[in-house]
Amino acid sequence: MLEAFLISTGIVALAEMGDKTQLLALVLAARFRKPWPIVWGIFAATVANHALAGSLGAWLTQLINPTYLRWGLGVSFLAMAAWMLVPDQLDEDDTAIAPRFGVFGTTLVAFFLAEMGDKTQIATVMLAAEYHAWWWVVAGTTLGMMLANAPVVWFGERITRLVPLTWVHRISAVVFVVLGVLVLLA
């Protein structure tokens, strides 16, 4: 179980670097300048989104033959490796939610919607299917998301200038290739 938690944390923390939700955190921090409601909104949205994604992964393990699931997961990890090499950009619509929901509500809704179909959500589905440890995967992916996004809220643009995102994406891609190959060879 510790392996599922640690790998989930590491993968999502790396995958989130330069991701559109990290850019969204930066935009929200610059716009509202209230870090705590933003961080709590990110946390709540991530828990909800990744709990659903983890549930989907756990459900797939019951639905699909283990051999087909293993091959599907292996190929999915390799596809994620390729996807990691394509940098995200923040869509204009990602911040279009009216501030009438307050800082927390705006962050919650914007993050939940931005995370739908995102790399980290798909990684959560795959990790939950691989490890059969829903709680540990969701806890790990949530921690990884917080490790990547909370500092952005507090330290903002300084972080994005210090971290060479192309190298983070390359390292993330290598991690996904290794996981894909390990799953396919198992």
Q: What is the pTM of this model?
A: 0.74
Q: Is the Cβ–Cβ distance between 28 and 107 less than 8 Å?
A: yes
pLDDT at residue 95, rounded to an integer: 47
pLDDT at residue 94, rounded to an integer: 47
Residues 144-158: b if buried by 16+ CB within 10 A, e if exposed? bbbbbbbbbbeebee
* Structure token pair of residue 148: 């990547």
Task: Count the domains in the chain.
Answer: 1
Can you give the length of the chain in residues? 186
Structural domain boundaries, residue 171: 2-185
The whole-angstrom separation of Cα 103 and Cα 40 is: 10
* Structure token pair of residue 121: 């959500």
User: What angle do helix axes 66-84 and 165-185 make, rounded to 10 degrees?
Assistant: 160
* Structure token pair of residue 44: 């709540």
How confident is the prediction along the chain (186 residues), in pLDDT tens digits per residue? 899 999 999 999 988 887 778 878 887 887 787 899 999 999 999 999 999 999 998 898 888 888 887 788 788 778 877 876 776 555 544 444 546 778 899 899 888 988 888 888 888 999 999 899 999 999 999 999 999 999 989 886 566 566 666 776 677 678 778 877 887 887
Residue 157: alpha-carbon gap to chain centroid: 20
pLDDT at residue 42, rounded to an integer: 96
pLDDT at residue 37, rounded to an integer: 94
The DSSP code for 17 is T
